[in-house]
């Protein structure tokens, strides 16, 4: 999963899992490998990252005040949100319940 720019983000469609993060955030760094593993298991969901320091406009649009923050979008509309670190099984459950 790679971090993308706000321009790239604007072009996304379908079901997208967005990881709002920052390089200095310890829990964000812990969550990244979990999301990398899950990305391989969910071919029907696009996984992207947004660095809140670099792309603050996107973070503001989605009212992200704490990170890591994972937002599941369907055609640009938020359907679910998870804040904080979650282990793989818990994050997989979050995805299953909301995709």
Does the residue 53 lie in any domain? yes
State the CATH number of the domain containing residue 48. 3.40.30.10
Does the residue 42 lie in any domain? yes
d(C-alpha 13, C-alpha 88), whole Å = 25
* Average of per-residue pLDDT across 64-69: 97
The boundaries of the domain holding residue 11 are 6-98
- Provide the pLDDT for residue 44: 94
- Provide the pLDDT for residue 65: 95
- Provide the pLDDT for residue 55: 95
Does the residue 66 lie in any domain? yes
Catalytic positions? 25, 28
Does the residue 1 lie in any domain? no
What kind and span of H or E run contains 10?
helix 6-10
* Number of domains making up the chain: 1
pLDDT digits (tens, 9 = 90+) for 1-38: 899 999 999 999 999 999 999 999 999 999 999 999 99
* Average of per-residue pLDDT across 86-97: 97
For 14, 24, 34, 43, 60, the CA distances from 28, given in Å and listed in that order, are 24, 8, 10, 22, 18
d(C-alpha 21, C-alpha 31), whole Å = 9
Does the residue 80 lie in any domain? yes
């Amino acid at each position: 999963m790679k971090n993308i720019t706000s321009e790239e983000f604007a072009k996304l469609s379908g079901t997208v899992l967005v990881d709002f993060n920052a390089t200095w955030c310890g829990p964000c760094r812990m969550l990244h490998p979990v999301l990398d593993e899950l990305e391989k298991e969910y071919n029907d969901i696009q996984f992207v990252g947004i660095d809140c320091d670099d792309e603050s406009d996107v973070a503001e649009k989605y009212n992200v005040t704490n990170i890591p923050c994972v937002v599941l979008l369907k055609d640009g509309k938020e359907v679910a949100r998870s804040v904080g670190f979650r282990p793989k099984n818990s994050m997989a459950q979050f995805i299953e319940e909301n995709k």
